[in-house]
Amino acid sequence: MRKILIVIVLIFVFVTGIKVAFLFTKEPAENIIYKSLLSIPKRNDFTFVVLGDNKNSISTFGKIIEKINRDHEVNFVVNTGDMVFDGSPIKYNFLVHQIKKLKKPILTVPGNHDVADHGVENYLHIFGPLYYSFHVGPAYFIMLDNSNERSVDPYQMKWLESELQKAKFYKYRFVFFHVPIFDPRSKRQPGHSMKDVKNAKELLSVLREGNVTMIFCGHIHGYFEGKWNGVPYVITGGAGAELVGLDPNHYFYHYIKVHISNKGINYELVKVESPDFNIIDRLGAFLWLYTYSFVVINYWVILLAISIFVLFSILIYGEEKKILLKTLIIMRESKFVKTISVISKKIGKVFEK
C-alpha cells in the first residue's frame, strides 16, 4: 500500500511540476497593442473606455470586463497601467488569460508594477512598445511611459513634441501615462506622482503648448479630475487594486467611458460595486484581494508544494498516518484548492457587499 501511495504521489508531483513549469515559460509574443490597433474601427463617431490599476484583481476586474463586453457602444479599451502585482511571468500569464476574455481591443501604457522585478521584458513581449501613437477619426492618441515614477526621458520628450505637432491637425488630442504629473491630494510636491518635479513641470509645459484635450493617468487608486495649469486631467485607478481612502467622492471602483461624436466629447464615470466606506470593510477587502488572488494565480504551485510535502511525509512517517492518506485522497480528487476557492469567494462576497 505504501509503495502504491508513493507512486501515485510521484505521478501527481510530476504532473503539477510540468504545469508549474509552463507557468514560468514564455508563450509566443502576443503583440497585443499591434493587434488591437489593427482591429479598432476607423470612424468619426466612436467610444472608448479608460481604466487602470487592476493589479491582478480577479473579482472586480472580472466584473468590469463582463460589463464592458455587454456594452455594444464601446469600440476599444485603454489601460493606464499597473495591470499586475509585479512583472513575474506567472503574473503576466494570468493577466493574458484575463485579457483574452475581453471582447474589445485593448491598448496599454506601462505602470511601475508592470516593470518591477525585470517585468519590462515581459511587458514588451506581451504588449509591445512602451510608448507610441495612433489616431481614430478626429482624435489623436499619444501613449507615454513614465513607469520609472520619476520622469519622462529626454528622447521620449523630444518624440512627444514632434507627435504634438502632428496632433495639431486633429480636433482632439488625448495623452495617456501611468504616474500623474502632480498629486491632486498634496499641496507639497512630489506626492504620489512624478518624483522629478522639474521634469514634471517641463512635461506639463509641453502638453499645455500642444493644446492637449485631456490627460489620462492612474497610479492613485481612486478617481480625481481637474486641471494642471489649465490642462485638464483625469486620474482613473479604480479597476480592482486596493482602495486605501475612505472619501466616497474619490475612492471607489470605476472606469471612464469617453464618447466622441459630431456634438463633441462626453465623459461618463461608470462606478462599479465597491466595499463600504469604513476601515473594517476596506481592510477586509484589501486582505481578500491579495489572499484570493494569491490562491488563484498560484493554484498549481500550491498543489505542487502540498504534493511534495505529502510525498516526504509518507517517506518519513509511513502510511500509518491517516491524516496523510486523507490529504492525498483530497488532492487526487482536486478538491483541496476548490475548497479554498469556494471559501475565498464566500469571504469575498461578504466584503464586496
According to the CATH classification, is domain 31-271 in 3.60.21.10?
yes
Domain boundaries along the sequence of the chain? 2-22+279-352, 31-271
What is residue 177's predicted lDDT score, i.e. its pLDDT?
98
Whether the model clears a pTM of 0.95, i.e. scores above it, the answer is: no
Neighbours of 224 (CB within 10 A): 18
What is residue 32's predicted lDDT score, i.e. its pLDDT?
96
What is residue 324's predicted lDDT score, i.e. its pLDDT?
53
What the block records as the C-alpha cell of 285 is 477587502
What is residue 314's predicted lDDT score, i.e. its pLDDT?
67
Per-10-residue mean pLDDT of the chain, 353 residues long, equals: 63 63 62 96 95 95 97 98 94 93 97 95 96 98 98 98 97 98 94 97 98 98 97 97 94 98 96 92 85 80 77 63 55 52 50 43
What is residue 327's predicted lDDT score, i.e. its pLDDT?
58
What is residue 331's predicted lDDT score, i.e. its pLDDT?
55
Cα distances (angstroms) measured from residue 331 to each of 9, 184, 226, 237, 310? 9, 50, 54, 39, 10
Q: Return contacts of 157-162, CB within 8 angstroms, 24+ apart.
A: 157/202, 157/203, 157/206, 159/131, 160/203, 160/206, 161/206, 161/210
